Structure 1
Amino acid sequence: MAPRARPTFWSLLFVILLLDGVATTFSASSEANSLLKFKSSLDDQSNALANWNSGSPCIGDQANWIGVLCMKGSVWGLQLENRGLEGEIDVDSLAGLPSLRTLSFMNNSFDGPMPEIKKLGALKSVFLSYNRFSGEIPADSFEGMSYLKKLHLAGNQFEGAIPSSLTQLPRLLELRLEGNQFTGQIPAFAQHDLLLLDVSNNELDGPIPASLANMNSSSFSGNEGLCGAPLSPCTAAPASSDKKGSSSFTAILIYAIVASVLFLMALVLLIFCLRRRNQTSQSIEAPPPSNLQKKASFKEEGHVRHGSPDNSSSGKKAENFKLSFVREDRERFDLQDLLKASAEILGSGCFGSSYKAALFSGSAMVVKRFRQMNNVGREEFQEHMRRLGRLRHPNLLPLVAYYYRKEEKLLVSDYVENGSLAVYLHSNHARGKPALDWPTRLKVVKGVAKGLTYLYNELPSLIAPHGHLKSSNVLLATTLEPLLTDYGLIPVINQENAQDLMVAYKSPEYLQNKRITKKTDVWSLGILILEILTGKFPANFLQQGQQGSDQDDLATWVRVVAGEADQWPAEVFDKEMRAKSESEGEMLKLLKIGLRCCEGDVEKRWDMKEVVQKIEEVREKDNDEDFYSSYAGESDVRSSRGLSDEINFSIPI
């Protein structure tokens, strides 16, 4: 009998790879079935999950289905925010996703009790804020979730006690429970790594655990019964007395005080009636317009004469005068406080005028009027403002409050003393201040890039998360760190006005094809970079409402001058910046990045992630001692074909 052939190494390897491929295919099919089962349990009226139909949800790290996050061919996350989804979350169907680590269903309309997420014990982050979940959360709802780091349940209708099992999560870093109806005391959290805990605007009472004394006081605001650090100290209840004599004396004293108060109230009422009888029956006109009202010609909604019959519905009218705050860490004031404050006109922009209002407390706020938002409904506007109010980043000027009227809106933010980047670039001579040097301009560009990255991560559903990036919308803090303003407004601006107002609608892709894309903000960033480096104001922004073209924008000017200049780069860079710098190489590197951002062809233009990565590589000082040596031998061809093929200074047709 012939000896049995032994399997070779290559045959074994083939079998292993074949089995691995079969396992991968089976796993992908199983995950697809689990997701389809999950989809069938939802009420998806807006058809947001339309492409959840066939094929594999993941190929490598690339997702084929919307809202799915992939890693190595498996589903590791679901990010279904702002999709208009309703119903209850079917956790059992998600149990078929063994690699699932993160869930984000924020800003939908899910309802019912708290989902049994402890069945998904490997989860690291769960974001269920701003839905319609309600009822009590069982104390053991989070038992066994030893990997959970972030849990956000804010803005729902949960009630009852805070689940005690939360205190047993060893890796918990963030816990957001604000804006619910939790009652009782805060349990003692023993986690040393807990970075954020927010229980504001609930119905909690009792002392705050000592382990949370170092948290920000705003994390506990809106709970009248809470006390202890970081809030005011708890006061002990007075000890009761068993002596009858003391009790009798106390009772007599109380009766005397009550009788005295009643007598005084009757006297005051009598005086008031006598004075009222002597007055005429004519209604008294409302007080004269305040400082801000005069400057802004602003009228309060539902304004009536005092003493008129219309004033009887004061409860509803008073609601119209209230500012809606989107931040808990700011001083509280109302619309009347702003209208009575001394006002200073800061300037008139595309949307309207901005005013500095100095409150009686000494702090200053900026009030911006918007009249091009009257097509958006109250609920839609309020929800979007709350969404913007949740943004937190060092390079964003936070929205503090807003005021809604059908005809116009007011947005309130902090006042920044230094003013805008545009003033520093184009008006510093008039202000008698020195020009910005190269390190500061690079710092501004990097800060703007970081702010845009954050907006792209936090507002993924917006086609252009900023949409209005320009130098006048970049404020400079006292440290000259940039702060982006007027971001995220495209969803609430009237589309018929957007073409005349928003920078995004002046991009090449909109002027040519009437569309904006995820790369439109990249184009705006490129124009801003060129403006910062050249010190020149973009020509196509000088006349609002008029369509520019590639022939009159700043990018074209840079390409033309760089192609014709004999002394590169002196003809392009701001001479005041260049005179104080020996970093022409790094300046040129940033200029190239700006030009790549201004590529007219959207397909050839870099995306935001690539741009930010390139910007981070730019340094304050050159690595080469002689920058010009890198261009040796090119001077004889500059006039014929531009500086180099790499920079590509040709004017697009």
Structure 2
Amino acid sequence: MRLASGSTALLLLSVLLHHSASTANAGSLDSDSAALAEFRLAADRSGALASWNLSTTPSPCGGSGIPAWRGVTCGGGRVTRLVLEGLGLSGADALRPLAALDALRVLSLKGNALSGAVPDLSPLLGLKLLFLSRNALSGEIPPSLGALYRLYRLDLSSNNLSGAVPPDLSRLDRLLTLRLDSNRLTGGVDRIALPRLQDFNVSNNLLSGKIPVAMSAFPAAAFGGNAGLCGTPLPPCVETNASSTCPPAAAMAASSPSSKPSESKGKMSRGAVAAIVAADFAVVGLVAGLLFCYFWPRLSGRRSDRRHREGEKIVYSSSPYGATGAVAAAGGGGGTFERGKMVFLEEPGGGGRRFELEELLRASAEMLGKGGCGTAYKAVLDDGSVVAVKRLRDAAPGSASAGSKKEFEHHMAVLGRLRHPNVVPLNAYYYARDEKLLVYEFMPNGSLFSLLHGNRGPGRTPLHWVARMHIAAGAARGLAFIHHASRRGGSGSPKLAHGNVKSTNILIDRSGEARLADCGLAQLSGSSSSSAGYRAPEAPPSRPWASQKGDVYAFGVVLLELLTGRLPGGEAAEELPRWVQSVVREEWTSEVFDLELMKDKGIEEEMVAMLQLALSCAAAEPGQRPKVAHVVRMIDEVRAASCGGASSPSRESSMDESSAVSDSPAVSEGGAVSQ
């Protein structure tokens, strides 16, 4: 083997360093140097790594004007990136020493001639990018790769790998890229379940079986070149007598005329043929009759249901007009009913659309969703105008809704005065003994929840950083207005709280502004209004409750939701604030941020500042939470810093995963109808 200059010193020092690393504590720069030296001895036959010379450059990280070793990047006194692409590196089992680089975040050796098996890389728990494509690696894909739970990109394409795709890869729930194409892999792909996968390719292998529905959204090119694969997006599978699947081409070949016996031993008489044909027709007719008798009642019922849905109205538990009114009672039966009226709450001089209850009952309606306070509908009135109607659920004893009509009307009057660009206005209400309706302005562009969590998969348009900050600022201003609205009533006025701040109650209006919905309905609900994941620790679990400190806690959870892209309460049984705190304590702060934010360069300081603000809002102790006015000022300061430095070329990303996500188009402020 031909070594570059200084090879004797390199070999001697590598042996000494390897020995010292085995006796010293693991995870040091010395152990990194020893691992790199061993890798060079095994892989560099052409002298491409001549700069890896311990006699001239004692540290792979360089220093004091001395450049780092070729392809090596360090951070925190450890080797964190190793990028050696297209350098002609070769040798069997050369990758094994790299498993000692336990601080490595990025490993890219594509375009070389490395051979042998892929080693156990499970010690590299911080690894985020692994590129080993276009080499000569052989053997099976090691199941131990499933332990690299922080991995975003995995590319093993264009090698000589064989065997089945290990189901252990399904543990990589952060994986965005999985490329295994151009190998000799066998078996199926039905056990790969990766929810965030965006770039997937297993083409040109020896795979077989049916493509699972969860992977059918990827293009046909991702599966091509596998004669045994079938199902969307490839041609459909054909069920054989053995209940197996195969592509149509194989099935056609198996049943083609060339495969039938060359000669029949006898001919069938015409009478026998006629009898067989008649029997076939009889059987077909009998089967058709049975199917008709079985399915016709169901089809008729479905058409009836469809006609009912097309003319759907808002159905109430009791109609103020009795059984002969515009809408029959849904179980209320006959009896007497209290006649109510629509009360409009527009400010003086407002020219809002007014209508009677009869017109609202005639409106075609679409149910938007059900929540703790009631059921929401989108209603289209006779003239085509659209409103949102919330039908309140049965009230809890002691709540404003269960109290007197005077108490309810007073509460509605307070809510009707809340007019702000970041609050959904309550325009009208209807009160009867058994029916309470609230009429709001309709928000056409969906909710923050749908923008953040809707369609998390291929083809999704991510919500970028500027849009998230714009929504956060708008929601904070709306909440600050609500908290300060009670001051206008004098010192004796009770403090007003929203009571149910969450991402589904942050709606987007026609101009793209965020607006808080369902304000003040906590006192009208039949149970604790705050949703799981947003409920402050001090909140009682089973009765109506609202406080300004509780609002701040819930808003802190919303900020964490914006930063992490995770559902509150959706991470096993652990609350989102506690999960974020546990990750930050382990000094993996960058791990908490949503992968979709990684394409926005130069925003790390702003994200960290927002993370600190969110955690202070979501403090367990109410007294440690800031006032909402302070929250508004902090968000404005972060936004100003973000806008002021976004175009500065000197602000480079310090996150390893910044290269893990490719650029995507900006998000549209439009979205699905809010729930």
Shorter-chain TM-score category? 0.3 to 0.5
Higher relative contact order by CA 8 Å / sep ≥ 6: 1 or 2?
2
Q: Quick check: which has more Rg, 1 or 2? A: 2
| TM-score for both structures, normalised by structure 2 | 0.43
